């Protein structure tokens, strides 16, 4: 038995934010981040629409990037005092992720993060409120996914929450909110979306419901990401759709080791944070070559290459074309090809690679990767990525 879950309603296209005025309810709490939505006037617009819907509105502002356990607890407390029947989360991935966790603690004050961390073990939500998600970046697709990541800074751990209970009820995918995205974010989040779609397509949990979403997303990223990066607003609108389609695919098919590796290297090195989308973009071609040793995965990568019209007749030549295309994208988007080029110190890399590899193998995303991997193989793969060596094992 498999399950395929999406928000009940996805409003999309320019001006779709206005749909907030058609929500039916009494009270809405609006959860936002650091202030970009306010500065651009979208916060006021959203409040206005919710009031037009006849609702009393309360704001919860200032959710930080990589939201903390404390923020989640504070938000849940505000919700318990205000008793909203709608939770509206607007912004980048962080306010939406934080609001998903607040939702659980609002409805179940006695639940713990340890309980919520067990995958697909959430209590039944929607006893008190329903959830609207409005993304202001084009990549994580948390507006349609069953996932949220919360950080416990005191313990130094990240809680990955996964349950279809936290798949939002309504997603509003309005491209006007991403018109002012900085170009480096367009690049990184765009490559994150491409990675979501490719990993979902080759995942061991892929199915006939997720495949068309993944393929369409891949095709649209290939068609529109460079123009979106160059500032073309029509292309940016297409990318906003593409990342959402990719999200619908990976929320149900899950991901693979590109994400495992990005998760465990993001904050691993003293030379600085490796942004999630950049890490994915860098690792993706190497992982394709590793996974393509598995015949089922090879066939699927070749299908992707064929779908987007890349050159090649044999499976191997099509896979080469796909990797070359991703390398070319990384050039265009100013993304390095190796960890060395990114600026990771060689001695620090050698010192830490064994431990990072073990952690990456243990990451939640490894289970659905199409080819299994041992910590020793992971170490070889990381070494190839560090020096830009060919993956031949």
Q: Which is nearer to Fe ion, 145 or 320 (CB)?
A: 145
Q: Edge-to-edge strands of the sheet including 130-135? A: 9-12, 170-173, 130-135, 86-91, 27-31, 56-60
Q: Which is nearer to Fe ion, 189 or 357 (CB)?
A: 189
Q: Which is nearer to Fe ion, 215 or 262 (CB)?
A: 262
C-alpha to C-alpha distances, 345 to 9, 270, 272, 350, nearest whole angstrom: 47, 9, 11, 9
Of 126-134, 187-195, 230-238, 333-341, the segment contacting Fe ion by CB under 5 A is 187-195
Q: Alpha helix (H) ranges present in 141-294?
A: 183-202, 211-229, 233-253, 257-265, 276-291
Tokens coding 76: 């849940």
Q: With CB under 5 A as the rule, give the number of residues binding Fe ion.
A: 1
Cβ-defined contacts of 373-379 (< 8 Å, 24+): 373/257, 373/290, 377/290, 378/257, 378/261, 379/353, 379/354
Closest approach of Cβ 283 to Fe ion, in Å? 11
Closest approach of Cβ 141 to Fe ion, in Å? 8
Q: Which is nearer to Fe ion, 13 or 362 (CB)?
A: 362
Of 32-40, 67-75, 93-101, 186-194, the segment contacting Fe ion by CB under 5 A is 186-194
Whether 301 and 291 have beta carbons less than 8 Å apart is answered as yes
Q: Which is nearer to Fe ion, 228 or 260 (CB)?
A: 260
Output DSSP code: residue 68. B
Closest approach of Cβ 250 to Fe ion, in Å? 8
In 3-state terms, what secondary structure has residue 30?
Answer: strand
In 3-state terms, what secondary structure has residue 263?
Answer: helix
Considering the rule CB under 5 A, would residue 143 count as an interface residue with Fe ion? no
Closest approach of Cβ 237 to Fe ion, in Å? 21
Place of tokens 């950080």: 151
Q: Which is nearer to Fe ion, 88 or 281 (CB)?
A: 281
C-alpha to C-alpha distances, 49 to 54, 150, 180, 274, nearest whole angstrom: 9, 29, 22, 38
Closest approach of Cβ 189 to Fe ion, in Å? 9
Of 98-106, 164-172, 184-192, 373-381, the segment contacting Fe ion by CB under 5 A is 184-192
Q: Which is nearer to Fe ion, 97 or 192 (CB)?
A: 192
In 3-state terms, what secondary structure has residue 333?
Answer: coil
Whether 379 and 357 have beta carbons less than 8 Å apart is answered as yes
Of 89, 95, 125, 87, nearest to 108 (Cα)? 125
Of 10-18, 67-75, 185-193, 311-319, the segment contacting Fe ion by CB under 5 A is 185-193
Closest approach of Cβ 276 to Fe ion, in Å? 6
* Closest residue to Fe ion using C-beta atoms: 192
Closest approach of Cβ 205 to Fe ion, in Å? 16
Q: Which is nearer to Fe ion, 165 or 192 (CB)?
A: 192
Binding flags for Fe ion, 294-313, as an x/- string (CB under 5 A)? --------------------
Interacting positions 188-207 with Fe ion (CB under 5 A): 192
Closest approach of Cβ 112 to Fe ion, in Å? 26
* Interface contacts to Fe ion, rule CB under 5 A: 192
């Amino acid at each position: 038995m498999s399950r395929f879950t999406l928000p009940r309603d996805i409003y999309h296209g320019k001006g779709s934010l206005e749909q907030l005025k058609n929500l039916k309810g009494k009270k809405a709490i609006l959860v936002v981040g650091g202030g970009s939505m306010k500065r651009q006037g979208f916060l006021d617009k959203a409040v206005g629409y919710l009031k037009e819907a006849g609702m009393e509105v309360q704001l919860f502002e200032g959710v930080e990037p990589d939201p903390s356990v404390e923020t989640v607890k504070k938000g849940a407390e505000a919700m318990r005092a205000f008793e909203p029947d709608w939770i509206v989360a607007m912004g980048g991935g962080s306010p939406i992720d934080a609001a998903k966790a607040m939702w659980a603690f609002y409805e179940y004050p006695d639940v713990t993060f340890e309980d919520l961390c067990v995958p697909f073990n959430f209590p039944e939500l929607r006893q008190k409120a329903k959830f609207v998600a409005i993304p202001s970046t084009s990549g994580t697709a948390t507006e349609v996914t069953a996932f949220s990541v919360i950080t416990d800074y005191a313990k130094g751990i990240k809680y990955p929450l996964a349950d279809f209970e936290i798949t939002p009820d309504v997603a509003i995918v309005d491209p006007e909110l991403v018109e002012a995205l900085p170009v480096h974010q367009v690049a990184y989040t765009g490559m994150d979306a491409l990675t979501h779609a490719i990993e979902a397509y080759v995942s061991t949990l892929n199915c006939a419901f997720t495949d068309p979403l993944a393929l369409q997303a891949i095709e649209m990223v290939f068609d529109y990401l460079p123009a979106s990066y160059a500032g073309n607003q029509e292309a940016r609108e297409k990318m906003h759709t593409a990342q959402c389609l990719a999200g619908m695919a990976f929320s149900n098919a899950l991901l693979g080791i590109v994400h495992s590796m990005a998760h465990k290297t993001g904050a691993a090195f003293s030379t600085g944070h490796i942004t999630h989308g950049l890490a994915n973009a860098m690792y993706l071609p190497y992982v394709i070559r590793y996974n393509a040793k598995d015949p089922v995965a090879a066939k699927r990568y070749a299908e992707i290459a064929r779908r987007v019209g890349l050159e090649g007749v044999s499976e191997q030549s099509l896979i080469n074309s796909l990797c070359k295309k991703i390398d070319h994208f990384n050039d265009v988007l100013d993304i390095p090809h190796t960890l060395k080029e990114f600026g990771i110190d060689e001695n620090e890399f050698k010192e830490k690679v064994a431990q990072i590899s073990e952690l990456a193998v243990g990451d939640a995303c490894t289970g659905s990767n199409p080819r299994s991997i041992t910590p020793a193989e992971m170490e070889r793969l990381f070494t190839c990525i560090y020096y830009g060596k060919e993956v031949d094992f």
